[in-house]
Amino acid sequence: MTRRGARRSAADERKPCPCGTGLPYADCCTPAHRGASAAATAEALMRSRYSAFAVGDAGYLLRSWHSRTRPARLRLDPGTRWTGLEILDTDRGGLFDTAGTVVFRAHYREAGRPGSLIEHSRFVREDGRWVYLDAGPD
């Protein structure tokens, strides 16, 4: 879904995924966004959530948020364009873990000006699947 609520075109899905893996969006984060697959690791979930911000998929962001910390609504700012993702560090969050942390830098443009933010995101398994818990302490 785009910010305007329309489906992404086939051409959009052939473009590189916003999460930075180099794979086409259709082969990378689209299956997670559509509910066809679940992230295998905390880092994969973090990448899919970044891509959801980039393509404006608030529904996926809410579905991939822990039930205890998930907001009732989420409004994405249409004036923010997400332009790149760097994974800085990971701690646990693998196939056999129940919790993990991903430290990342997300780049964006807002009002024509570049910016970036660094976050230490915490992830846990809920009902067997990875979900975003919160932004942990630095």
The answer to whether position 82 is within a domain reads yes
Cα separation, 26 vs 15, whole angstroms? 8
Please give the structure tokens belonging to residue 54.
Answer: 């980039």
Query: And the tokens for 41?
Result: 């690791």
Q: Is residue 38 assigned to a domain?
A: yes
Distance between CA atoms of 70 and 59, rounded to whole angstroms?
12
Q: Which two tokens stand for residue 64?
A: 């991939």
Question: What's the predicted TM-score (pTM) here?
Answer: 0.91
Q: What is the pLDDT of residues 13-61, one digit of tens each?
A: 789 999 999 999 999 999 999 999 999 999 999 999 999 999 999 999 9
Total of domains in the chain: 1
Instruction: Report the CATH number at residue 25.
Output: 3.10.450.50
Residue 52: domain span: 10-135
Q: For residues 48 and 30, is the Cβ–Cβ distance under 8 A?
A: no
* Mean pLDDT over each residue of the chain, to the nearest integer: 92
> Both tokens of residue 71?
């907001």
